[in-house]
Chain A
Amino acid sequence: MDSIFTLLASGILEAMQPLNFMMIIIGCTIGLLVGAMPGLGSVNGVAILLPITFLVPPTAAIIFLAAIYYGAMYGGAISSITLGIPGASTAVATVFDGRPLAQSGKADRALIAAAIASFIGGTISVVLFTLFAPPLAAFALKFGPPEEFALMVLAFATFIGLGGDDIPKTIFSILIGLVLATIGLDIISGQPRLIFGDITGFLHGINFLVLAIGIYGIGEMLWTLETTRGEVTVHKVKMSVRSFLASLREIKSYIGTTSLGSVIGYFVGTLPAAGATPASLMSYGLAKTFSSKPETFGKGNVAGVAAPEAGNNAASTGSMLPMITLGIPGSPTTAILLGGMIIWGLRPGPLLFTEHPEFVWGLIGSLYIANFATVLINLAFIPVFVKILTLPFTILAPTIYILCVVGGYAPTQTMHDVWLMFLFGIIGYLLRKLNYPVAPAVLAIVLGPLAERSLRQSLLASQGEMTIFIERPISLVCILLAIALISYPTIQKLIKRRRAQATSGEK
């Protein structure tokens, strides 16, 4: 244990070297801005920045890449809150409460909560990383296809609770997302599915961003146009030292759920298949389920912004673990990190911890520093981001349209996806008018392929026996938790009704 702390201390000292420290500051700032741009892929951004890393020593380079990765996780919340468009699947849950807060003129509170929660998530997870990396790496190995599927069921269960009161409509929305997720090449046999004759654009499936930007960007715009009837609205946001301090005082209202979300987020992040999206969802679902006022979630509850941000930041630290110990990168950005490691002759694997401790702990040390740096940079930029919202709608709307088109085009660079995005925008608007929750559909398209793959792998392994999911202890626990989560709101309602009856009976 002693040696870990010595190594970590030297890692932190290493990260405080002038050059390394400068790389952290630059990396965090770039990451923050890249993360804040919906769909303007961090992959391209980071790949173009890779040459810079050859000008500095390997440690500084890897610290730089890690800082970008870290900054981008913070930045994801910014477009979710200010523009209502999630730039990455990890930031979808942040829209649920972030957008209503921004619309009611409390964008500053939402942004501050997101920054603070990210900091809490980052801190808790990096401490957990320091203390429990090796045992957790061993535990992650216990997760085979059945466990992964059970975890996905658990993630789906958390958002049945998210959809609000109308559970059938939520399930309908999930199913739409799942059907969209099956479009493309079959993951087992490789045969094309649902490609509408032979439209090649559908072969690569439907990119999450196309759906998310369509529904949240275009759909939301249409909705706003209708509700305001062309009236020019300006969201007044006043930032002052007093409101900043008031926001800081709010921390105690969400510190509990945020810490819980961070622990879960870190844990889910360490599983190679899962990643930050289910983590942010589960964190949000739990915050809502255990809140004293669950009905305020989705309408602008600060805790609803804090929980998913803590969850996804904790998960992004967690996902460093499978990358280091198993060589499985959890995101395009970590994949570039992995590429950097291979060039410097560092092979990820179970021995990296023991053979190159200075590298691993230097990286972890830099996460501590990056976490502090990013929260400060982020808080400093918040007044600038909030300014975006004070723009008149007549300027903001066309800007968002342009960002949507660019964001829809960027990932695959085909017009097919842009048209599809517009189509989803119109469908999203109609669903919204009919009072269907759209978030479950967006999340189902992210989790659907993961769930399908693990389900089919499990059934292949068990020769088609469904019992494989309840025979294995870890997957059984996940499934039972999922059942509990689905039934919890119903039971709660029954208890309330019975209490109400009891009190009326007394009278």
Chain B
Amino acid sequence: MKSRMKNLVKTVLSSAVAVAAAFGLAGPAAAEWSPKKPVELIIMAGTGGGADQIARLLQGLIEKKNLSPRPFIPINKPGGSGAEALRYMEDKAGDDHTVLVTLNSFYTTPIIQDIGVDVSTFTPIGRMALDNFLLWVNTDRGDITDFDSYVAAVKSAGREWKVGGTGSGQEDSILTAMMESYFGYEVTYIPFPGGGTVAKNLVGNHIDSTVNNPAEQNEFYRAGNTKPLVQFTANRLPAYPDIPTAKELGHPIEYYMQRSINGPPGMSAEAQAWYIGLFETLFNSEEWQTFCVEDGLACESFLKGDELGQYHMTEIEKHKKLIQEVGADAITG
């Protein structure tokens, strides 16, 4: 039954493609593209993390607001710090029914690992938010009350100090490497399959500290399990008015992560336009903006299409430089 339906969908799809090809050159009248089959929403990280929560919220909002004639299906491909997801997208070149929810490993993984993917060829759709980073420890650590006592504790523990993260080459490992090179200490970095698992291991005292996004720690913070020490932002986030930024303390460490939606290389212009429209609607929705405020994300402006492509190019250059400075070895451990 299902296979028959699939065939039917395929036939409809191929005839739709043929029709689109026939009319595509005729003018913008034929540009009204919309998905013909379920859209794969690829998440380059594990379940429970920030990217996962965002993808699942977007999926739900699309359904709730009835914005797409076909459902969006979130699929987690966390392997190899996002390498699995990037290779998957690369292999889907020209496909109009697959989009990727990114993290900064979108930039860093192809720089650090030789996976044969050039993300600048991907089809940029829209930047939904900039995510922030805070440094977290378990509230049991009474000896650590601020950033200075943290640095002192790490320095005396040396390699015994365990920092949890979501994978070598992920943004948290970069930020960890930035701190290592700035303060001149070395820690042991342990990768976990997602931000949710990192949080759990911090609460259970299996790791000593982590740099998590607010969304991944908020609930544990409210429950009194973990505490933030410092924010790596330009200004204090409204959700954390009492926590100083690293900059205020005289340590110029600042780092952000983009949360954007991208198609595989060679997505058709019609499909790209449709997705841009869809995600812009979502970006401007009350639900999304509320989520941003509650979870400490910055959602001031929606970068779309070529603007986002430009942004990607500058970020790739920035990360190349950053990785050169701290050394790829510091990141992969």
A residues with a Cβ closer than 8 A to B are 37, 40, 43-44, 47-48, 50-51, 54, 141-145, 184-192, 200, 203-205, 272-273, 322, 326-329, 335-336, 338-340, 342-343, 347-352, 402, 406, 453, 457, 460-461, 463
Give Cα A205 to B80, complex, Å. 11
Determine whether the beta carbon of A187 is less than 8 Å from that of B80. yes
Interface residues of B in 41-97 (CB under 8 A from A): 47-48, 52-53, 56-57, 59-61, 63-64, 66, 71-77, 79-81, 83-84, 87-88, 91
Interface string of B203-226 (1 = CB under 8 A from A): 111110000000000111011010
Q: Does B292 contact A (CB under 8 A)?
A: no
Bound together, the chains give a CA A180 to CA B148 distance in angstroms of 47
Are the C-beta atoms of B79 and A143 separated by less than 8 Å? no
What's the interface size class on B, roughly?
35 or more
- Contacts A186-B80, A350-B219 given; indicate if A463 touches B56 (C-beta within 8 A): no
Complex Cα gap A44–B57 (Å): 17
Within 8 A of A (CB), among B149-199: 159-160, 162, 167-169, 188-194, 196-197, 199
**Would you give the shortest CB distance from B280 to chain A, in whole angstroms?**
19
Which residues of A have CB within 8 Å of B199? 326-327
New A-B pairs, 18, CB < 8 Å, besides A51-B63, A185-B79: A47-B72, A47-B74, A141-B204, A187-B79, A189-B168, A190-B79, A190-B83, A190-B112, A190-B167, A190-B168, A203-B84, A204-B88, A335-B52, A343-B64, A349-B219, A349-B220, A406-B2, A453-B193
Residues of A within 8 A of B75 (CB): 43
Contacting pair A339 B59 (CB below 8 A): yes
Is B332 on the interface with A (CB-CB < 8 A)? yes
A457 lies within 8 A of B59 (CB): no
B74 touches A44 (CB 8 A): no
Complex Cα–Cα for A335 and B46 (A): 11
Assess whether B24 is interfacial by the CB under 8 Å rule. no
A207 to chain B, nearest CB (A): 12
Cα distance A328–B3 in the bound complex, in angstroms: 33
Known A144-B201, A461-B190, A463-B159: A185·B63 in contact at CB below 8 Å: no
A-B contact pairs, 17 of them (CB 8 A): A50-B63, A144-B205, A185-B83, A190-B169, A192-B80, A328-B47, A329-B47, A329-B48, A335-B52, A339-B59, A339-B60, A343-B64, A349-B222, A350-B223, A350-B225, A406-B2, A461-B206
A71 to chain B, nearest CB (A): 18
Interface pair B197/A204, CB less than 8 Å apart: no
A387 to B205, CA, bound (A): 54
B233 to chain A, nearest CB (A): 22
B109 adjacent to A272 (CB under 8 Å): no
**Chain A nearest Cβ from B85, distance in angstroms:** 10
Which of B's residues lie within 8 Å of A, judged by CB? 2-3, 38, 47-48, 52-53, 56-57, 59-61, 63-64, 66, 71-77, 79-81, 83-84, 87-88, 91, 109, 112-113, 115, 159-160, 162, 167-169, 188-194, 196-197, 199-201, 203-207, 218-220, 222-223, 225, 287, 332-333
Indicate whether A205 sits within 8 Å of B79 (C-beta atoms), given known contacts A50-B71, A329-B47, A402-B3.
yes
Which residues of chain A are near B196, meaning CB under 8 Å? 326-328
Chain A residues with Cβ under 8 A from B219's Cβ? 327, 347-352
Question: Cβ of B48 and Cβ of A328 under 8 Å apart?
Answer: yes
Chain A residues near B57 (CB-CB < 8 A): 339, 342-343
Residues in chain A near residue B71, CB distance under 8 A: 47-48, 50-51
How many angstroms from the CA of A272 to the CA of B109 in the assembled complex? 27
**Whose C-beta in chain B lies nearest to the C-beta of A340?**
B60
Which residues on the A side are within 8 Å of B47 (C-beta)? 328-329, 335, 338
> Which of B63, B162, B194, B333 is within 8 Å of A461, CB to CB?
B162
Are A204's CB and B84's CB within 8 A? yes
A234 to B64, CA, bound (A): 49
